Structure 1
């Protein structure tokens, strides 16, 4: 028998229920699935830490948009996926997201290189079932939108590192620039320099933080 330890992380319990039902209904006769679930970064973090010390996950499904951890260190499924790569390098990572913006897709692939990448608007239960088996045996599996983005050349390659993503997240939470130093280990000049880089990166012509946040949110970076 093939025992498969799975983690599913999504902030909508009904979506997780749908994923679970699909995998349980479509699994092979020789497969036994053990599925853990989480709806936020804190719960997922605890499950990952426990699994790292006990039985590692074979495959982890991460939604990108999740409630941040209470300490602010984990702000998305992207952060959880990176952590999983560090503590469970053999675990297969699957990204499921509503984001279907080309730049965002390329950024996730560059930073995480997931074993599966599914855009929710593309996905049917039969595709999820097919993707699951494909990822277990011969990853990667990318849904049609992701595959099409990868085939096309991207004119502007937006790459936002961890510190810049944290700056964007904090600004979106209403944290003022003068107090960012309390949350990020950078000098004020260093923070201002990064903000300028972000505004150039996202073509913010009016120089306003509000425009930066709005643009970054539209492109799926917040």
Structure 2
């Protein structure tokens, strides 16, 4: 993906300016970034609807706390993220927020399952730059507060749902990742994303499936 259409939604123009400057300064040589911005739900909803008809955004950044729309239909970045997912299914959704309470993090992951999730207080220019490239290439990318929260919740069954359990079971039976979609009724990219998620949850540092299975066995999931 070399020409990248981006929408950034935040009600603080100076923050958006900062994000833009970082991405423009750190983009790869072969990348052209076309960045559009919005400061509230009304502007953003119009732009998402317009883009979806002709030139869909490749990446959307949403701050969670935003002035709601006049008609009360959209009240936050979460609502806009769901709209973008519905109208532009291939768009990468990135959530940026000041909220770092675990229940908010939990709800956002459950509701939106974003490709990127960055807590503003964790954010450095370097992290935004690295995160952006990873989100384009192989999402998800979660900043440290989010990753730590996910690791803490490993004991709860919320994230190890039936599909994830089935993926772990099939991998343990020696089924190759490329063939998993024959057994699980989701796409290959969705399977890849879930595997990445599982590796994050089980703190798999080396990225290997064997390590994932070993950790899952030790924690009683296999």
TM-score scaled to structure 1, two decimals? 0.69
Do residues 57 (structure 1) and 57 (structure 2) align?
yes
> Which residue number corresponds to residue 33 of structure 1?
33
1:8 match: secondary structure:
strand
Do residues 135 (structure 1) and 127 (structure 2) align?
no
Deviations 1:83-142 (A, max 9, x none): 111000000000000000001100000000000000000000110000000000000000
Higher deviation after alignment, 125-134 or 1-10: 1-10
Do residues 5 (structure 1) and 11 (structure 2) align?
no
> Which residue number corresponds to residue 147 of structure 1?
147
Q: 1:151 to 1:38 in 2, by over 3 A?
A: same
Residue 17 of structure 1: CA displacement? Answer: 0.1
Tell me the number of residue pairs that the alignment of Structure 1 and Structure 2 aligns. 158
Residue 157 of structure 1: CA displacement? Answer: 10
TM-score scaled to structure 2, two decimals? 0.69
Higher relative contact order (CA 8 A, sep 6+): 1
Structure 2 distance, partners of 1:126, 1:113, is 23
> Which residue number corresponds to residue 83 of structure 1?
83
Structure 1 distance, partners of 2:73, 2:43, is 13
Q: 1:24 to 1:103 in 2, by over 3 A?
A: same
Structure 2 distance, partners of 1:154, 1:98, is 23
Structure 1 distance, partners of 2:9, 2:73, is 17
> Which residue number corresponds to residue 118 of structure 1?
118
Structure 1 distance, partners of 2:155, 2:139, is 27
Structure 1 distance, partners of 2:51, 2:134, is 23
Structure 2 distance, partners of 1:82, 1:105, is 16
State the 4+ residue runs in structure 1 displaced beyond 6 angstroms. 154-158
Structure 2 distance, partners of 1:150, 1:157, is 12
2:56 match: secondary structure:
coil
Unaligned runs of 5+ in 1: 159-222
Q: 1:155 to 1:140 in 2, by over 3 A?
A: closer
Unaligned runs of 5+ in 2: 159-222
Residue 153 of structure 1: CA displacement? Answer: 2.4
CA RMSD for the aligned pairs? 1.8
Structure 1 distance, partners of 2:156, 2:104, is 11
Structure 1 distance, partners of 2:129, 2:75, is 28
Structure 2 distance, partners of 1:136, 1:153, is 27
